Amino acid sequence: MIAVEDLIELVRTYNPKTDEELLRAAYDYGREMHEGQTRYSGDPYFSHPVAVAAILAEQRLDDATIVTALLHDTIEDTRASYASVSQKFGREVADLVDGVTKLTNLQLSSSETKQAENFRKLFMAMSKDLRVILVKLADRLHNMRTIKAMRPEKQVKKARETMDIFAPLAGRMGMQWMREELEDLAFRVINPDARASIMRRFITLQRESGDVIDRITGDMRKELHKVGITAEVIGRAKKPYSIWRKMQEKQIGFSRLSDIYGFRIITETENDCYAVLGAIHQRWRAVPGRFKDYISQPKSNGYRSIHTTVSGRDGKRVEVQIRTIQMHDVAETGVAAHWSYRDGVRSENPFAVDPAKWINSLTEQFDAEEDHEDFLEAVKLEMYADKVFCFTPKGDVVKLPRGATPIDFAYAIHTRIGNATVGAKVDGMRVPLWTRIKNGQSVEVIIADGQTPQATWLDIATTGKAKSAIRRALRELDRGRFIKLGRELARAAFEHVGKRATDKALETAASTLRIGGVDELLARMGSAELTGREVLKAVYPDLTQPDGNEVSRDRAVIGLAADQHFDRARCCQPLPGERIVGITYRGRGVVLHAIDCANLTAFEDQPERWVDLQWHAGTHEAAYDVSLDVTIGNDAGVMGRICTLIGERKANISNLTFIDRKPDFYRLLVEVELRDAEQLHSVISALDAESNVAEVVRHRDIAQGAAVVRA
């Protein structure tokens, strides 16, 4: 465990004006509070907060953050309280410790919906004071460095949580070194064999080709010396997980992987950066498409650097990053550079991002998300994103994630522009909306009045902002259509039992079903979340009970054993009155097929699974759904007449799905609850006679049944 004087000396190296008494008091208080507590390894528990403080001291952070690190577990795990910490160390430290405690209590590896809510809380905590997350990241880093002492199942849980949440968050904050170490430590737990394999390949490579890094570093220094540039050249092999990820993305083996070495050239001035770039490109051949200028177009977290990839010795590709000393400070510490000290004063780094502005830019696009899963998707998309820079026709720069499309570009400009998009031009050429935008391209969006977002755009869009806006617009568009459709379904369902779907009746149903109003009730009916039978039952429960003479579903089939139950095959949807045969399934009972079902051929060599069955005589209850494939004219009132015709035949519509929309015709699947084959014939005949119905056929999904057969 690091002694208090050693910790103070570490802080004093970058902040000679540090409050040594405050650090000693925090050290002593933390040690006292954790007295008698031990870690999984058997070490004193207080060794962990001290190690976290040392990690943050290496980032040259302020006294309040170092003190918070020493005390970050006291409120949660000891008799210390917010009040006692506030009294001894001030409200700023107490608020930071309390914030870290709340983050620690978030179960971030739970279900998706819960995880999304935790992300919301995490961003809220970050928005109050970003130092909370800096302490939490350092806490996670030390826990990952000492993870071997934990139980194997807990190691895997923590490693996955680190890989999914904390590593990308560190990267998003610009702390690339921490991201890489967290990923590698998690990779060591999640896939130790893969990591060991990559390490063995590295050792073999070094044995075969010698120390490539030293040789290339030496070559670069000579080239810079020739042009009179003073700069520091640092070379390194990429981390095992970074190599593994690239192998997976490109689906290639280690031997075919090229740029496994990276080099940083740190200069004194911005002009030197471009001079270095020229010298490097004169000496080595640049790899096309592998150049990024983050100096002229910085990342949102303040990151500035020039990236280029060149073919070095023996044709090996190497990545070169060129930046100034101040840019390097931000590249190493990211948003944390805002609190960095140098020579006893707060570091005035012109490239450090204001944390408040950064966190606002990160969270503003998520605020409108109502759906937890949508929010989580947006968070992950933005946290993992690598940026491309493109231009508006006026020359303004727009930053987008790699893989973004003109749809993302349009919504980045304005939601109104995105909603009205009908086409796009890239570098003056008309392109499809699914085109991937590349660095430096000029994008022009073509809009039209009356255009609305299409559902297919969700598959095209990449950014969380675009996806959120599209979903919101689709919900608003669909809601009006669903309410109208739901009203027709309600009318048909009520007329089926001789009643009228008045507003009062629908209000009663909404109240009984605990749904917020008639419009919401109708919208759910129109979107098939509620059936007409369920709404009718909420108002007239007695009218929806089976007739005493009806054959109930549990005794509808003759020939089953006493302990057997049946399901109807989805492929052929047999009805009472049709000839049937049963096929036995382990764990599923018996599945009924129509005798002419094409999927029965799959069981011809398994006669032991066939069961001779027949429907019970009598009137069955209307509990058997059948799908009808209906093509109708796109005229006013047609949908209402169809619902009326089905209702007049005493049938109930349970679902409606539009499968094709044309300007003059709609094609839809109508699921109808029927008693028997005779009622089906009556419904089809009535629909076929309607002048606005172009075609109506019984829909049988043979492919769906075949999938069940294979399973």
Catalytic annotation, residues: 76-77
CB 589 within 8 A of CB 567: yes
CB 273 within 8 A of CB 306: yes
| 652 secondary structure, DSSP code | E
Contact residues for 338 (Cβ-Cβ < 8 A; gap 6+) = 130, 352, 353, 354, 355
**Taking Cα atoms as reference points, which of 658, 513, 642, 651 lies closest to residue 522?**
513
**141-175 as b/e: b if 16+ CB within 10 A:** bbbbebbeebeeeebeebbebbbbbbbbbbbbbbb
Look at strands 589-594 and 566-568 and give their pairing: parallel
CA distances from 90 to 7, 64, 66, 87, 96 (A): 21, 10, 14, 6, 10
| 435 secondary structure, DSSP code | P
Number of Cβ within 10 Å of residue 307's Cβ equals 15
Element at 209 (helix H, strand E): helix 192-209
**Taking Cα atoms as reference points, which of 527, 503, 531, 498 lies closest to residue 517?**
503
Task: Measure the CA angle with vertex 453, ends 449 and 455; round to 5°.
Answer: 155
DSSP-derived secondary structure for 473-502: HHHHHHHHHHHHHHHHHHHHHHHHTT----
Contact residues for 3 (Cβ-Cβ < 8 A; gap 6+) = none
**Taking Cα atoms as reference points, which of 679, 609, 670 lies closest to residue 639?**
670
CB 318 within 8 A of CB 259: yes
- 682-686's contacts with Cβ under 8 Å and 24+ in sequence apart are 682/649, 683/628, 683/645, 683/646, 683/649, 683/651, 684/628, 686/645, 686/646, 686/648, 686/649
CB 387 within 8 A of CB 299: yes
The residue type of 157 is K
- Over its C-alpha atoms, the chain yields an Rg (Å, rounded) of 33
Contact residues for 185 (Cβ-Cβ < 8 A; gap 6+) = 141, 144, 145, 147, 159, 162
Cα–Cα distance between 249 and 44 in angstroms, integer?
43
SS3 for 551-570 is: ECHHHCEECCCCCCCEEECC
Cα–Cα distance between 322 and 308 in angstroms, integer?
8
**616-642 as b/e: b if 16+ CB within 10 A:** eeeebbbbbbbbbebbbeeeeebbbbb
Contact residues for 587 (Cβ-Cβ < 8 A; gap 6+) = none
**Taking Cα atoms as reference points, which of 13, 10, 23 lies closest to residue 71?**
23
For 15, how many CA atoms within 13 A lie in the half-sphere containing its CB? Answer: 25
